[in-house]
Structure 1
Amino acid sequence: MTTEVVCYALTALGLAVGLLSAVRRRFLAATRWVAVALLPAGVYLAGLVPVLRRIGRMLRTWGADLVLSPQVWTGLGLLALALLLFAAAHLAGRRRAARTAVAPPSAPRATAAPAAGPPALRARPAAPQATEPAPKSAPGRKGGGDDLGDFSEIEEILRRRGI
């Protein structure tokens, strides 16, 4: 009987706080409060209160044994080691996947277009690099080469490309 009253009182209190949050136009917070408020009544009606009591007692006993028992500390150490090994394996797998996703430049690519395909898909040879410095502006001009009438740079680029 006491458990029932406590569960319903907690539910009513949570619903009241949710209603106040909704009145203040904090609907997201109100939804969270209502969700949490429904838990005590749901636990009581589902018959889980005795189960939770039993779990609480067992956790309390385990916590008391934790302080003095080397067996419990060994078990916790093994659990920590297992978690570290899982994390290391996960990171190594991600690192391996990242390496295989990016093929080295010397390796042939599987998605390369065939040489006998249409001209647009054929690999173009690399354009030869110009060994000469960029042409300077004419000595009689004051603009320094950034006039709209000076197309020598554009002509040089077109000549290198063979256009």
Structure 2
Amino acid sequence: MTATICMALSAIGIVIAVLTASRGRTRAALRWLAVALVPTGLYLTGLITVFHTIGSTLVHWATHLVFDPKVWVGVAMLAATVLILLGTGVRFGRGKRRGKEQGQVPAGGGKPSAPPGRPAGAALPAKSNPTADLGDFSDVEEILKRRGI
């Protein structure tokens, strides 16, 4: 059956090529002749059966993808894996940051908490401390200044 269909398609293509050549359009006739040889060439090389096998395998896979609950459980598990990895902060394609970029200050290189000669809990006078009116936000401003922001 496949051989008959391929030969018929080639015959139709050859007829169209001959009719095109009779009108004086040689290049178009040669193109039709080249296209006409494809079905018979595919049949004789056995590629028709290869394409049929590939097509039926893809259809079988696609129907199992849609109608098989086991496949959907697998898809849900893969989606949950991606969500968990993204939710826990795993970022793909980025190197690890070290040192000051992560907020770690070296042991001896940190900023002193209070100026020398003044106890750690003593506040600066209102005139020299522009952040005295900020209240709870002074520690945030200090962190931003330390990072250069």
> Normalised by the shorter chain, which TM-score bucket?
0.3 to 0.5
TM-score, normalised by the number of residues in structure 1: 0.37
TM-score (norm: length of structure 2): 0.40
